[in-house]
Amino acid sequence: MTDVLVVIPTYNERANIADVVSRVRAAVPDAHVLVVDDASPDGTGALADELAASDSRISVLHRPGKQGLGAAYSHAFAWGLERGFARLVEMDADGSHVPEQLADLLAAADAGADLVLGSRWVTGGGIENWPWQRRMLSRGGSAYARWVLGMPYRDVTGGYRVFSSDALRRISRGDVHSQGYGFQVDMLWHAHRAGLRIVEVPITFVERTKGRSKMSGGIVFEAMWRVTLWGIAALPQRFRATRQ
């Protein structure tokens, strides 16, 4: 797995980043970790530099300010592709994506999937320590995006994923303009439209125990509004496909 790059975007995750990186290195020892820090005021970037100084398989990208999740991943994907990594992983920095489950996602990628979705909503998947309201919001958001965009996947909004390098080159990433919560839906929709082989692997999502979540109702509403606009724009093409 020396061709695996695990991308971990951070903003004010000093309380979590050392533990998450350590667990990734233990779970997949040959993988390389790239921390992408958006000038975190709490010193996350400085701590990431210390981790990188002690481990040659850890690198850090420093960005000048908070520019959004989508921009962080786009920057990291370009960095990884330039260096020849064959599998590029998306993972949250707060511990909600269990590093010990990464091998299962990579196995699906090695079996031929272009994109592997760590899924909370397929058989065997689940969530720990979420209130019912947040569960309903997540499930409802995925269901709405599936319906509007005509995609069959159960977990459309999740952020624990493995892309092949070929998949990232085939996706029209220049057309992916979402920077926040909607980035995950946007990337999946482009992958789906590109005809990539996409599979879902069950994961257990664990709510963070340290630090503060960046999620808010406004962020979710903005993402669903974007999904609605994408769905409307795609209606003519979907209508023509049903007529053929």
pLDDT for 144 equals 86
**Which amino acid is it at 145?**
A
Sequential DSSP letters for 147-181: HHHT---S-SS---EEEEHHHHHHS-GGG----ST
**Is the confidence at residue 163, as pLDDT, over 70?**
yes
3-state secondary structure of 178: coil
pLDDT in tens, 18-53: 999 999 999 999 999 999 999 999 999 999 999 999
Q: Position 199: which residue type?
A: V
* Rounded CA Rg of the chain: 17
Measure the CA–CA gap between 12 and 38, rounded to whole angstroms: 9
Evaluate if residue 105 carries a pLDDT over 70.
yes
pTM of this structure:
0.89
Q: How confident is the model at residue 110 (pLDDT cuts 50, 70, 90)?
A: very high
Question: Quick check: 244 pLDDT over 60?
Answer: no
Note the pLDDT tens digit of each residue in 193-233. Answer: 999 999 999 999 999 777 666 555 556 666 677 778 777 87
Contact 121, 154 (CB under 8 A): yes
Task: Report all structural domains of the chain as residue ranges with CATH numbers, in order of start.
Answer: 4-243 (3.90.550.10)
- Predicted confidence band of residue 133 (pLDDT cuts 50, 70, 90): confident
CA 37 – CA 43 distance, rounded (Å): 10
Confidence of residue 98 (pLDDT cuts 50, 70, 90): very high
CB-based contacts of 27, cutoff 8 Å, min separation 6: 99, 100, 102, 103
Q: At what angle do helices 132-149 and 217-243 cross, to 10 degrees?
A: 30
Using pLDDT thresholds of 50, 70 and 90, give the confidence band for residue 129. Answer: confident
